[in-house]
Amino acid sequence: MGRWDQRAIPNPAFGACRGSIHCLLRRGRSAVFRTWAGLVVESAKALKPVSHRQPIRIADRHRFDCLIDARTPEEFELDHIPGAINCPVLDNEERVRIGTIYKQVSPFEAKRLGAAMVSANLARHLHETFADKPANWKPLVYCWRGGLRSGSMVTWLRLVGWDAQQLAGGYKSYRGHVVEQIETLAPQLQLRVLCGATGSAKTRVLHALEQAGAQVLDLEGYARHKGSLLGNLPGVEQPSQKYFETLLVQQLQAMDLSRPIYVEGESVKIGRICLPLVLVKHMRTSPVIEVRATPEARLAYLLRDYAYLGDDPAALAEKLGWLKELQGKEAVMRWQAWAHEGQLSPLFAELMRLHYDPHYERSQEKHFVQWPGRISLATDDLGERGIEELARRILSPA
């Protein structure tokens, strides 16, 4: 069995047990090892420093000087907590490489190589992004779910001397917070839904209402899309579904729920963005204000607001091709010819008359419960002054 000497037992952690060692030796090797292992564990617990830091929740994130997203740039672009800066501990390619090694080689090899990559990236952040931070700087760090990526950064920042902390549950917990907030806040909104046929300048009226001090929910602005077949903005990508919802919640949390909130009547989708169903349902039971502009005023507005479509005739013609099943080959071919020739005026006029207007009233009556009791505002001017006047009439009804 070898020689066991009571002097080898650490003092003071094991001192109280000296008298029982010879008794244990008589009982056999297994009893000695069990007791020794238990004493080591208890000693380690006694010597381990107790951290004063508590898990940081979503509601406490504003108490920190900086919010750091340690995920990859690709993850950050898809969605992130508002106000966060991206300081990845692994870039896009590194994360893919480590994941592949983890599955195809071994977890150990993935962690070994990952540690080297993380260390190099953290060193770069310390030399660059964090180089000017004072000794009392207090950052909050998160990754996907509060694991190794944010944990490794927090460890190094604490070693420097900063009071770095980790967001409990990471981005995943924030995402759950966003979903919960939409479900909770949307039904409480005092919505006033702005409707009107295509070309009625509803978005511009919303902006005029906001400039006049009203609360506005600009869903098309958050979605970066005008909501129609031709609603893509030139050179502007729509956000991810998750980031759209993050922007929406950020706006909802800043609103006074006791005051009216003006919103444009939308379908379930704006481009490829799906509106939360709880918001759509609430919107469709809310009071309606209709902008009833003359066809001439609407056409003039469309020619101003969609003038950029003439810059890419081929792309415009391609989009019009999607209407063949609804409008027939002959009409669409005529529209495509006008698109190639840059004749937007006859094109927009026929799109209004043949495609958008025939279904407008029936669709509004079907989707909006309070459509029969709507406030209707007629106008023949959708220029700047006409839009300001519409906003004034909405805020000061006769």
Going by C-alpha positions, the residue among 282, 264, 289 that lies closest to residue 189 is 282
343: helix, strand or coil: coil
Catalytically annotated residue among 87, 143, 195, 274: 143
Count Cβ atoms within 10 A of the Cβ of residue 52 and give its class: 0-12 exposed, 13-18 middle, 19 or more buried. Answer: exposed
Q: Which of 314, 272, 294, 255 is nearest to 381 (CA)?
A: 294
What burial letters (b/e) apply to 167-201, b meaning 16+ CB within 10 Å?
Answer: bebbbebbbebbeebbeebbeebebbbbbbbbbbb
Question: How far is residue 180's CA from residue 59's CA, in Å, rounded to a whole number?
Answer: 13
Reference 362, options 373, 350, 371, 370; nearest CA is 371
Nearest Cα to Cα of residue 183 among 58, 83, 282, 288 = 282
Q: What is the DSSP string of 84-101?
A: -EE--SS-HHHHHHHHHH
Nearest to 41 by CA among 13, 4, 8: 13
Decide: helix, strand or coil at residue 55.
coil
Helix (H) or strand (E) holding 161, with range, is none
- The CA distance from 282 to 188, in Å, is 9
- Preceding amide of 134 cis, omega within 30: no
195 in active site = no
Site of tokens 């906001």: 210
Which residues are catalytically annotated? Answer: 143
